[in-house]
Each structure stands twice: as structure tokens, then as C-alpha cells.
Amino acid sequence: MPRYASIWFPYLLTEYTVRRRPEFRDMPFVLTARERGRMLVKSVSETAARQGIRSGMVLADCKAIFPELEVLESEPGKTEKILQALAEWCIAYTPFTAVDMPEGLMLDITGCTRYRGGELAYLESIREKLNGFGYTVRIAIADTIGTAWAVARFGKAQAIVSSGAQGTALKELPPAALRLEPEVLARLRKLGLQRIDSFIGMPLPALRRRFGPSLPLRIGQALGQVTEIILPVKPIEPYQEKLCSLEPIPTPKGITMALQQLLETLCIRFEAEGIGLRKAVFRAYRVDGDIQQIEIGTGYPSRNPIHLFKLFETKIAMLQPDLGFETFLLEAPKVEPVTNEQAAIWSASCQNDKKVAELLDRVTAKAGAGSVSRYLPAERYWPERSVVQASPLWEKPMVKWRTDWPRPILLLSKPEPIEVTAVLPDYPPMLFRYKGVLHHVAKSDGPERIEQEWWQSKGLYRDYYCIEDENGSRYWLFRSGPYDAGRPEWFIHGFFA
């Protein structure tokens, strides 16, 4: 059976304010926002709630009840941001966490509690951590989302509903525990139906005719007769491994051991399924709620835990454990099949291709993403379009490199203008100035005329020249358009060895 945990924060915004401004800790205050010309209370502190102040009340009425009440302005959208952050923190307990507006979270904890000593210990651990962050919470665990939600808000402060006992847990609760609309609740009160057990046994068609479709729907969801779906804050990665520690780990050696264990476990799965890792994310959950992560990428699908650990090894120092990490999560959001064709990166049979791929991965891990690239010929004439970046690195070229004309070892992504002097028709310049430096042309070869593909774009053709200056440096220059078209422009496009 699936199991769900509902977490309710009755004083979420005000307790978040106290975390930022401790002087309000024991002070009765509210957070307000203007709606339709009136100041309404959006969140109430626990001390203000004891004075009879409730969310949704008009501020003027609250001041009449308790004149000493402190008033702060509520920040729009703050609730969603706080719950989103708390839901991401709860991923340390389960990969399936969802925001349950307006003041709650919903966790799918199916199969997760055995790693923390059972449901009671699991629930206690979450409660203690959130209390330590300064939040008052009520938590309940049940087979269904509806029952967990109802018991967390209207049942005991902390409750575990036994599997299959949701009907018994709901009977003594008020109708509001079923998440019904205000008009439905008003009809139930008018008929004197003050508890769920006073109508839960009635035929569903009768309830539907009298109260509309929402009441039988909510009953069915709470009892598990109707499926209810929630959306997690982060999609669950199919390849994911988690490791929980009995004691916080504050040392690099402990972090290293945890990472190695997770990599070995994940690579065993890869081996069985015939796939390899292309990208991995290692997350560490600190005891104070901070979440830190490092990630790596590979140019070749790898399931070698030793190689993958070497990529992570240079980044472990970026993690700041402070008091220690209590949970580690390794995800592989990008994987690819490992086929026989991928045994060779390039066509040279003398290479140990796997070791070349691993070397490139290590260089990339140290130098940064994008530091290693490989380019292949493209079936295009325009020079800047005649090469494409290989992705992945072992991709095979579709066409051969051109060898009938010389090409520079360094091709500029965009030609740069130069100043030329003493130019004869269909000849290269005798002098040209590039970035303020004057070059005297000693030797030249050309021209090579290159035109744009008419189906791509229109424009002037180019006449390219291989130029060598008096210092022996060699350049690839071109004139844009014909010589007799006024004053043609000249550009530098590459450098020869």
C-alpha cells in the first residue's frame, strides 16, 4: 500500500519572520495585505492566535479585539517560495515531495521509512528537524492523501493511521477535514451534520444530489476509492541512489566514502541495463537544512565508478559540511546506451579509445564545461559554416575534410575587418593593418573564390588569399565582392601554422 505524510505549518509566515527578526519571537503580531480596499490578516503568530486573532480577519477588527497587536506587511508570493524550499529540503527523506498550498507539504513516503527505523522514527526525525528550524508542525501518515491531510490538521498533533484504517480515523473529525468548499460546509452545518461519521455511511448518489459532486469525490479520495494525484516539486530521476547517515558526516573522508558507495551501487545498475552515465549530480543535505551539490558530465557513456569518482574528486572541496551532512543523493539525469560502435571514438585503431574518453572527461572536469571540443566537416562552402561541433565526441563525420585548398589552423568565428593599401586588380594587398599592427606582404597565393549557398542567403562572393608577411607569419585574407565595385572591403578570417 502507498503511504503519505502530510505536514502542516499553522504559523508558517510568522515563524519565518521570527527566524529573520528574532525580536518578534514572543510578540503578538500579524502579517497583512490589502484586498479590495481592506487590510486583511494573512498570517498570525502563535501568541496572537491565543488572543483570538485568525487569518482572514479584517485588521480593524483585530485591533479592536487586541489593541497591542503588532502589524507587518506581508510579502506577495513568499508562502510559495518558503514551501518550495522546504519541499526541496524534504527530498532528503523521500524523492517525491509536493507543495500543498496554502500552508503544507505532501510527501509520498512509500518504502522510505525503513531506512530510518520505521514510520514513528521517520516522523519524529522530520518533526525535530523542522522544530529546530523554528517551525511549528503537525504531521500525519496514512494510506491516502486525503486522510493524511485531514488528520494532520484536525486530528492529533502527531498521528500515524494504520494501513486500511482511514475510515476509522476520519469518523470523529469535522466536515472541513475533507477539504470541502465553504458552501458545502454551510449546508452540512445547517442540517446538523457536525462530524464526518454522521454522513460518511450515506449512499453516494444521495450525497451527490444533495451536496453536489465534491462531497462524494472527497470521501472517495480520503478512503482510497478514488485516485488522487500530486505533482512533485522535482521530477524523480529514474536513476537515483540515496544514502542516509546515522551520525552527521563533517569530514572530507566521510563524504568521499559516501560518494564512492553511491557510485558503485549506481554503476552496478548501469551494467545490468547496458547503459552509461553522461551527467551526474551529487547532493549533500546538511543538518541545518542547507543543500549543496556538485555535478559532472562525461563525453562518453561511462559506468566505471573509479573514473566517475575522479571527476567528482576535484570538486569535493567545494562542499562545506560545517556541522555535517546527514543524507547524500546521487542522481543520473542523463544516461545513454553503451553499444559496440561506441567502443571507438575516432577511426584510429591504435588508440585506446576508452582511456582517451576518460582523459577528456578529467580535463573537462578540471578546466570546466566546454573546454574540450571536437569539430567535424560540414557539407557547406561558406567557411564559418563548413565545420560543426561533434556531440558526442565520438560522432563520425558525414563528409570528408577538403584537401584541395589550404585551410587555416585557426578560423575566426567572424571575419574581422582590416585596412589595406596598394592593391592591384585580382591581387592581394601589399600592406595591411590588423589591430594597429602594419604587415608587409612577402608572399601570397590565390585567389580562391567562395560564394554563399543561394538557398541559404544572398550576398557578395569572397576572394581568399593565403598571405605571408615579412616575419613569416601566415594569414587567410579575403576581399568581399569584385575589385571594381567602388572601394571593396578586406577581412582577415584565419591564421596558418
Helix extents (H) in 133-251? 145-154, 166-170, 182-190, 204-211, 214-223
The pTM of this model reads 0.63
List, in order of start, the domains of the chain with CATH numbers.
Answer: 1-236 (3.30.70.270), 242-367 (3.30.1490.100), 414-495 (no CATH)
Tell me the sheet residues that pair with 410. 495
Cell of 475: 594569414
Tell me the sheet residues that pair with 107. 5, 97
Tell me the CA distances in angstroms from 344 to 272, 305, 307, 395, 429, one per residue in order: 22, 20, 18, 10, 46
Beta carbons within 10 angstroms of residue 398's beta carbon? 10
pLDDT in tens, the chain (497 residues): 789 999 999 999 999 999 999 999 889 999 999 988 889 999 999 999 999 999 989 999 999 989 999 999 988 889 999 999 999 999 888 889 999 998 999 999 998 888 778 899 999 999 999 999 999 999 999 999 999 999 999 987 668 999 999 999 999 999 999 999 999 999 999 999 999 999 998 998 999 999 999 999 999 999 999 888 888 888 777 888 989 888 899 999 999 999 999 999 999 999 888 898 889 999 999 988 888 999 998 877 888 899 899 999 989 999 999 889 999 999 999 988 876 544 344 344 444 556 666 777 777 777 666 667 777 888 777 888 888 777 666 667 778 887 778 889 888 888 999 998 867 777 888 899 999 899 999 998 888 888 887 777 777 889 999 999 999 999 999 998 887 766 788 999 999 98
Helix (DSSP H) and strand (DSSP E) numbers for the chain: 13, 20
Q: Which helix (H) or strand (E) covers residue 17, if one does?
A: helix 12-20
Tell me the sheet residues that pair with 331. 240, 281
With beta carbons less than 8 A apart as the criterion, state whether 179 and 218 touch.
Answer: yes
